[in-house]
């Protein structure tokens, strides 16, 4: 089976080529084939596409290059999609796909081409296991069990799938029952197994360690790094980062009311960090975050907690999460002598 990898215009070429080079070196029944960028367009990287917009590129490529119906065409794109899936697929002819090829630095602490190649390698074996990809969808596991078929509704859980690179016993049964050849299974397993260590090394945490120093970097995105954990980056979205930084700045803690009173300061920081330039979107988000009647702030606080627990474990996370009784001051308990404000943002 041939798998044609096509690149959307806006994707950085280096990332595309590293995916191709990685996948093409494995021998077996699947040949991963590179193709020149097909679509010639200039669309903002940040504007989400519909699935059909992405898949249209596969269809055009298929027609222009007389691709065999049984071959797969996979578009690598850095444009997000509705409803924000990692992989999208066509209803017909069942063999066109796109793989979201950006923002992986939010989930993993390695180069982005590894998770992209991992996701792509799974497509042909899922096709063999389930026929139409639509059926594969029905067999996705939820909750997460550390199998390559995990759905990962909470996107941060995808790291477990990458770290285990494993087929659970239920999936192995399907592999045996369907027409997945040993050669195909071995080729894909070998790829996954080789990629897997890249997700492990930098995020290994010793559970009983004392809290790490924390640095807020002096660059455009103001990364938050755990200095003593190999500069592990905390993967916050811009809004989560704003909330975290505000609480980090006020060690005595803030009530919801006190947080909302700092709207000007919050707006200033968010404008610096936001990845949108649209003033209306920015204003709406700030209004929402600083409205004491909205859930936005408490959602960000629980998301921050969730991200930290996943990243460094429950025990260590306690030093960094924003906690406190409802309707009273909430605070980050971290000893502030461990904080290095390299950034001048606050």
Characterize the bridge pairing of strands 31-34 and 214-216.
Answer: unpaired
Q: Which is nearer to Zn ion, 147 or 234 (CB)?
A: 147
Instruction: State how far the Cα of 24 lies from the Cα of 202, in Å rounded to an integer.
Output: 26
How many chain residues touch Zn ion (CB under 5 A)?
A: 4
Indicate the residue among 144 and 223 with the shorter CB distance to Zn ion: 144
Tokens standing for residue 150:
């995990």
Residue whose CB is less far from Zn ion, 1 or 151:
151
What is the smallest separation between the CB atom of 147 and Zn ion, expressed in angstroms? Answer: 3
Report the nearest approach of Zn ion to the CB of residue 143 (Å).
12
The DSSP string of 307-344 is: HHHHHH-HHHHTTTSEE--TTS-BEE-S-GGGEEE---
Which range in 108-116, 171-179, 218-226, 318-326 contacts Zn ion by CB under 5 A? Answer: 171-179
For the window 141-170, what string marks contact with Zn ion as x by the rule CB under 5 A?
------x-x------------------x--
The reply to whether 122 sits near Zn ion by the rule CB under 5 A is no
Nearer to Zn ion, 162 or 247 (CB): 162
Q: Which residues, 6+ apart, have CB-to-CB distance to 196 below 8 Å?
A: 162, 163, 164, 165
CB of 141 to Zn ion, least distance (A): 5
Q: Is 266 exposed, middle or buried (0-12, 13-18, 19+ CB in 10 A)?
A: buried
Q: What distance in Å separates the CA atoms of residue 239 and residue 265, rounded to the nearest whole number?
A: 13
Q: How far is the CB of 167 from Zn ion (least distance, A)?
A: 6
Query: What are the tokens at 177?
Result: 């029952």
> Smallest distance from the beta carbon of 149 to Zn ion, in angstroms?
4
Q: Least Å distance between CB 220 and Zn ion?
A: 40
Compare residues 168 and 345 and give the one whose CB is closer to Zn ion: 168
What is the closest distance, in whole angstroms, from the C-beta atom of residue 169 to Zn ion in the complex? 8
199 HSE (CA, 13 A, CB side): 27
List 75, 76, 171, 269, residue binding Zn ion (CB under 5 A): 171
Query: Which residues are within 8 A (CB) of 136 and not within 5 positions of it... i.e. 6 or more apart?
Result: 126, 127, 129, 130, 149
What's the Cα-to-Cα distance from 278 to each of 43, 220, 274, 294, rounded to whole Å? 16, 17, 10, 22
Decide whether 171 or 245 has the Cβ nearer to Zn ion: 171
Q: Which is nearer to Zn ion, 176 or 204 (CB)?
A: 176
Interface residue list for Zn ion (CB under 5 A):
147, 149, 168, 171
């Amino acid at each position: 089976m041939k798998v044609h990898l096509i690149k959307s215009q806006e994707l950085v070429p280096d990332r595309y080529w590293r995916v191709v080079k990685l996948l093409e070196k494995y021998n077996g029944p699947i040949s991963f084939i590179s193709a020149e960028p097909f679509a010639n367009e200039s669309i903002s990287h940040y504007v989400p596409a519909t699935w059909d917009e992405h898949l249209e590129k596969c269809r055009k490529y298929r027609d222009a290059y007389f691709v065999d119906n049984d071959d797969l065409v996979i578009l690598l794109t850095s444009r997000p999609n509705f409803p924000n899936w990692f992989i999208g697929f066509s209803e017909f002819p069942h063999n066109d796909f796109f793989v979201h090829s950006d923002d992986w630095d939010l989930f993993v602490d390695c180069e982005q081409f590894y998770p992209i190649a991992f996701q792509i390698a799974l497509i042909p074996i899922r096709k063999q296991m389930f026929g139409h990809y639509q059926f594969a969808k029905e067999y996705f596991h939820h909750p997460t069990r550390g199998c390559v078929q995990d759905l990962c509704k909470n996107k941060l859980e995808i790291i477990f799938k990458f770290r285990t690179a494993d087929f659970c016993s239920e999936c192995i049964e399907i592999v045996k029952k369907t027409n997945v050849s040993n050669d195909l299974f071995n080729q894909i397993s070998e790829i996954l197994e080789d990629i897997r260590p890249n997700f492990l090394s930098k995020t290994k945490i010793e559970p009983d360690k004392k809290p790490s120093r924390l640095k807020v970097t002096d660059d455009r995105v103001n990364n938050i790094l755990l200095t003593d954990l190999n500069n592990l980056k905390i993967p916050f979205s811009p809004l989560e980062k704003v909330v975290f930084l505000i609480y980090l700045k006020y060690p005595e803690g803030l009530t919801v009311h006190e947080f909302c009173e700092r709207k000007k300061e919050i707006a200033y920081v968010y404008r610096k960090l936001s990845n949108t330039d649209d003033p209306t979107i920015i204003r709406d988000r700030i209004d929402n975050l600083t409205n004491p009647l909205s859930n936005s702030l408490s959602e960000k606080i629980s998301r921050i907690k969730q991200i930290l627990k996943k990243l460094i474990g429950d025990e260590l996370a306690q030093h960094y999460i924003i906690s406190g009784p409802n309707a009273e001051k909430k605070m980050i308990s971290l000893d502030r002598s461990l904080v290095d404000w390299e950034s001048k943002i606050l």
